[in-house]
A and B are shown apart, each in its own frame.
Chain A
């Protein structure tokens, strides 16, 4: 398999060029039940730099934000414990949608924005997310992982 960027010949099946690191072939992302050989069923979770883990509830819509009983805001995933207040997480910051095996995240017009792998999302425009992505709500960065 020849790298189109640097013309280096790579072994078949290689994902990235050994010489220049370029992606070698067009791929599609997929994940179904047969994709994993696991001894436990996988769900998604968010991990913070201090190792705290938050499991994403098995719902079709999961609101992420900061709990505020005074304004009657109770998000499904409350980021207060992870320093959400200081790190600029809005009360209703973003929502994760689930559709079968696929997930998207949508910024709900938050003050400090939502980022996937350091790219800022346009408000109210869902973007696909996958395990290994870094999600950032304001300044709070979390890694999306399969549990």
Chain B
């Protein structure tokens, strides 16, 4: 299909054993920009929401100013930009405007000094108001939120704002610097709005992340991406994971009886997007069985494409030949293993938070083994270190928790460890 997206639907196994019980199957829905799709033809509507609290003083603030300078220099004249800074007060430093007065924007930023506490929700609210001024279907609407501190008792207000943002097609990329911030909150803000999240250990990497973000916006190839899977009678969708830009379990929102429906926001034309669906098929006799149909819908505003749909039917063959049923698709298997590591890590952290040290230790041990199998020695070691921390202090370390939370979510990305 010219100028459209390239959609592949792949099962973990094309052939499974015909048994008298229900069984699990995994389907990968992989979406990439087709060869004729131009990336980067959609202007941005970009809002920077930046923490200027006292703890940002010094190296963090210097690197932040440099990174914002990079953003301003690399946006097109056609892009909209705004800058909101917050501590326990909020200031809209640059109201939403075309990214043309580059010197003026940088000069205003140069005068910012670090001070005060951290109140994320007020900053987010003001930043959201700026992005809404330029909200348009043919723009890539995005907020970049950067903080280095625990916000003060306003997590719920933050989550409400990210939910609203998500509904309006505004993705929030959340960035935490150092170890003193709430990763659960920042990850949720990103997940709810279909954005990305980053953990930065060294302020030097602020520039890398801002650069990635600008490049990501400029690589958007399609908008309003939605995947709907309608299963055949008796087939039960069980779990659904979005895998880019990080692994997110969307099962609770996406699965409704025999249908899976999930909004995926914009498609990064360079990186693509994929969805992993785990379903249960009923006991079947030998022969071909239609699991269901996957439908991918999207818009490409720059080409006047709205609501284009690609449909793919999913079939599996059932056999009594045990040898034929051992053949697995390597790409799907690899993804399922990564998701498995993510799930074990999530359960370990949940158990630890609930004070169930023995269960948390066991899950971390399992996660470490899976991570080693995946060749992720660094993350496996991090899990081992947290097991020791649990033994010694009965709690996980803040840095270790962040490493595991971000590391396992980004197993699907190439070398995100470059950001350290």
Contacts and interface: CB of A to CB of B under 8 A. Distances in A.
B377 interface: yes
Contacts of A50: 212, 215, 270
Nearest to A116: B375
B326 A14 contact: no
B313 interface: yes
A132 B330 contact: yes
Interface string B307-319: 0001011110000
B75 interface: no
B8 interface: yes
B326 A40 contact: no
Given A15-B26, A51-B268, A118 B341 contact: no
Contacts of A26: 326
B329 A35 contact: yes
B413 interface: yes
A39 B312 contact: yes
Interface stretch (B13-21, B55-63, B254-262, B395-403): B13-21
Contacts of A64: none
A141 B414 contact: yes
B315 A37 contact: yes
Interface string B266-305: 0010110000000011000000000000000000000000
Contact of A31 (B32, B326, B329, B335): B329
Contacts of B370: 16, 21
Given A11-B280, A15-B333, A117-B375, A21 B344 contact: yes
Interface residues of B, number: 64
A37 B333 contact: no
A48 B414 contact: yes
A130 interface: yes
B9 interface: yes
B328 A11 contact: no
B270 A51 contact: yes
Contact of B366 (A12, A21, A23, A30): A21
Interface size class of A (residues with CB under 8 A): 35 or more
B6 A49 contact: no
B280 A132 contact: no
B21 A131 contact: no
Contacts of A70: none
Interface string A10-32: 01111110011111011111110
Given A27-B326, A51-B215, A12 B335 contact: no
B414 A143 contact: yes
B1 A39 contact: yes
Contacts of B212: 50
A53 interface: yes
B108 interface: no
Contacts of A31: 329-330
A52 interface: yes
Interface centre among B32, B310, B329 (most CB of A within 10 A): B329
Nearest to B212: A50
Contacts, number: 143
A146 B270 CA distance: 14
A94 interface: no
A63 to B, nearest CB: 22
Contact of B418 (A47, A49, A52): A49
A147 interface: yes
Contacts of A20: 344, 366, 369
B337 A16 contact: yes
B88 to A, nearest CB: 37
B182 interface: no
B416 interface: yes
B25 interface: yes
Contact of B310 (A22, A39, A147): A39
Contacts of A146: 8, 30, 331
Interface string A113-131: 0000111000000000011
11 contacts: A21-B341, A25-B326, A27-B333, A36-B8, A37-B8, A38-B9, A39-B7, A40-B6, A47-B271, A47-B414, A132-B331
Interface of B: 1, 6-10, 12-14, 16-17, 19, 21-26, 30, 32, 34, 212, 215-216, 219, 268, 270-271, 280-281, 310, 312-315, 326-331, 333-337, 340-341, 343-344, 366-367, 369-370, 373-377, 413-416, 418
Given A30-B328, A118-B377, A147-B32, 20 more contacts: A11-B23, A12-B19, A13-B16, A20-B344, A21-B340, A23-B337, A26-B326, A27-B333, A28-B327, A30-B327, A36-B8, A37-B312, A39-B310, A51-B216, A51-B219, A53-B270, A117-B374, A117-B375, A132-B335, A141-B415
